[in-house]
Structure 1
Amino acid sequence: MVRILYIEDESEIGSWLRKDLEERGYEVTWLKSGEGMGKYLGDSDIAILDVMLPGLDGFSIGKRMKKERDDFPVLMLSARTAVEDKLEGLSFADDYLTKPFQPDELAARIEVLLRRFQKNDQVLELHHLNVHTKDMRMADRDTGQEIQLTGKQYQLFQFFIRHLNQILTKEQLYEGVWGEQYIEGDKTLMVHIRYLREKIEKNPSRPEIIETIRGIGYRVRG
């Protein structure tokens, strides 16, 4: 599961955004200032920082984070729209998003940064598959044959791998991959999962990799 370190002092914005991010499948640690952030930094995958904070401002906190972990993505949030503020933020941070913003845009930017900073290639063994996590290359371990996924299949499987072992609802999957709100009764997700299973499962009618969690959604176990 992707772990987000979120620092925001405004309670209303903070609780709203944490709830939205958790519904999308992220694990969120929310702090109201930079105090104590050091103990969470090593276990986090990305930071989202508001600029206006009590004590040290977001710019100062972000620079400290980058000094400790230069391979750590930092995304700044701010109501400041002046070019000078954006340039200051982007002098060390990896992205800068101005308020107000749409949560779908923030989620998309998070995924872009996570992909950019995913440097280490790991090989997951999922039943008969070897999956390279960096670029989602996969091969059947029994036959050695490489399995090619199309665009949406690739994005869908990548989302599963980013949230390995987690039960994902249809809403989380649709919003995470298509970037739109799921409408009950829409068969798009179901069709794409069927096509994906046909490519990666030994027996698509009895799937072992993409599990159906009845009444909830789906899960891929690592």
Structure 2
Amino acid sequence: MKGAILYIEDDLEIGELVTEDLQRRGYSVNWQTSSEQYHDGIVEIDLVILDIMLPGLDGFTIGERIRASRRDLPILFLTARTAIEDKLKGLEYADDYLTKPFHPDELAARLEVLLRRFDKTHSDIIQIRHIQFDRRTQQITNLMSQEEIRLTEKQFKIFLYFLRHPNQIMTKEQIYEEIWQQDYIEGDKTLAVHIRYLRQKLELDPQNPEIIETVRGIGYRVKQ
């Protein structure tokens, strides 16, 4: 199976066509025609496809709520709303935005890109030295103490960014612009401060880090 998809679409004809096509391509699809039960089984889902105009809660609201609870879950809006204002609003919560009419091959290609970007084809359990991360529950555990490690929102985003780029040297500019969605200004210590606090929570010895490695003059790397 390629992945488990939550698909919310109230147009029965489109919903049936998309569901059948994705199932033929190897996906497991939970198709719902309203937003009433969108949260059911959300922990087991690898990707969400949302229409915007839905009975009950609209797609924007659902996308915002899903993003708040599952920050690692890719979301794609599939909608007839073509206005630039709608696209910009949708991309506040979603990772891609595709307008109707569309070709099934394009939808499938975008889904594959999202799944690769969020690394959904790998194991749900990632272990880095004494740290274990469960993708499904979003829980980080210190295996030596068996205690849960709690991160702030920014710390968690930085941690996930490293996990999506294992063994790669990520520049300070890349990390800052991804997390803060702003241009990096040379000399800004904001990222360094967050990395320091993140190390205090993750490392056995924050003064001699073994998880988040500093690559002098460039940035950071997390080896897996």
Aligned to 1:210: 212
Q: Distance in 2 between matches of 1:117 and 1:209?
A: 19
Deviation readout 1:177-221 (Å, 9 max, x if unpaired):
112221111111110000000000011111000011112111111
Aligned to 2:187: 185
Q: What amino acid sits opposite 1:145 in the alignment? A: E
Say if 2:96 is the partner of 1:94.
Answer: no
Identify if the C-alpha distance between structure 1 residues 189 and 117 changes in structure 2 by more than 3 Å, giving closer, same or farther: closer
With structure 2 as the length reference, what TM-score do the two structures score?
0.52
Q: Distance in 2 between matches of 1:116 and 1:211?
A: 22
Aligned to 1:109: 94
The alignment partner of 1:164 has SS state of coil
Aligned to 1:150: 152
The alignment partner of 2:214 has SS state of strand
Identify if the C-alpha distance between structure 1 residues 117 and 173 changes in structure 2 by more than 3 Å, giving closer, same or farther: closer
Q: Which runs of 5+ in 1 are unaligned?
A: 1-41, 45-59, 76-82, 84-92
Q: What amino acid sits opposite 1:169 in the alignment? A: T
Identify if the C-alpha distance between structure 1 residues 111 and 219 changes in structure 2 by more than 3 Å, giving closer, same or farther: farther
Tell me how large the CA RMSD over aligned residues is.
Answer: 4.3
With structure 1 as the length reference, what TM-score do the two structures score?
0.53
RCO comparison, higher one (Cα < 8 Å, 6+): 1
Q: CA deviation at 1:120?
A: 8.0
Does the 8 Å contact 2:76/2:94 carry over to 1? no
Does the 8 Å contact 2:76/2:95 carry over to 1? no
Does the 8 Å contact 1:130/1:138 carry over to 2? yes
Q: CA deviation at 1:67?
A: 3.8
Percent identity reads 39
Q: CA deviation at 1:73?
A: 5.5
Q: CA deviation at 1:176?
A: 1.5
Q: Which runs of 5+ in 2 are unaligned?
A: 4-16, 30-45, 54-74, 98-113
Counterpart pick for 1:123 among 120, 125, 137: 125
Q: Distance in 1 between matches of 2:96 and 2:190?
A: 22
The alignment partner of 2:187 has SS state of coil
Does the 8 Å contact 2:172/2:218 carry over to 1? yes
Say if 2:203 is the partner of 1:221.
Answer: no
Does the 8 Å contact 2:76/2:96 carry over to 1? no
Alignment coverage as a number of residue pairs: 152
Identify if the C-alpha distance between structure 1 residues 214 and 108 changes in structure 2 by more than 3 Å, giving closer, same or farther: farther
Q: Distance in 2 between matches of 1:74 and 1:153?
A: 24
